[in-house]
Amino acid sequence: MDANETRTIIITGGGTGMSRAIALAFARLGDQVVILGRREDVLRDTAEALGPAVSWQRADVSRREDVEAAVSAIVARHHQINVLVNAAGFANGVNAHTPLAEAERRWDDTVGANLKGAFLMSIAVAPHLARPGGRILNISSIAAYTGGSRGNSIEYAAAKAGMHGLTMGLARDLSGQGITVNVIAPGFIAETEFTSGWSEERVRQIVAQTPAGRPGKPDDIAAAAVFLASSGASFINGEVLNVNGGWLFGR
């Protein structure tokens, strides 16, 4: 890809927290960014706040029909996609004592948004990725290794661990075409919807276990995404990049 070429970046996740920071980072590089999510008001507000380089498309990434429609619309406007960032996801909270019917509902919702959504988006976008130079980045979690910092995260940990396998499978399939696929596994990231309700005591305990001595910020994840999407990362493929301040390493 020419250094002056304007790239098209798709970021799922609704334009909040890490997704918003990633969108802003790519927009500042001069890329055209499209944010996807289910909440039109959030998407619209984020796109307006981040400027003309950022547009939005409503889609529930757990629904194939939404994914197909969104990707078709983006390709019609931009013709080619350079980077897909699968950042959509949430946790519903499932533990071993959750009633079975409720556990199943929460499992389906969480796995749908996190894992199935990344799968559907990746398969839908793959034919339109730049060759060579296309990138898929999946946003996982430290919970893929730990099962969650305090339990009650069975469905979330499973979905995020599944994203690691998805990443490796996609990397095997696409690397021969000059496309890399990697996964970023954040630790505790403050200033996000996901962690906004965590108590001060819980945050203090995590920071005390973190060699960096501070919580992560959405910008930390955005910086990792920008690097993995760059030409300088073209020989990094099928990897898990842990961004957790040293809370967990050696994996």
Residues with catalytic annotation?
A: 156
- On whether the CB atoms of residues 133 and 224 are closer than 8 A, the answer is no
Closest C-alpha to 119, from 75, 62, 160: 62
Structure tokens at 180: 């890399």
CB 25 within 8 A of CB 87: no
> Which of 201, 196, 171, 195 is CA-nearest to residue 183?
171
Cα dihedral value 11, 181, 7, 43, nearest 10 = 0
Contact 226/170 with Cβ under 8 angstroms?
no
Q: Residue 216: helix, strand or coil by DSSP?
A: strand
- Strands of 54-58's sheet in order across: 54-58, 32-37, 8-12, 83-86, 135-139, 180-186, 240-243
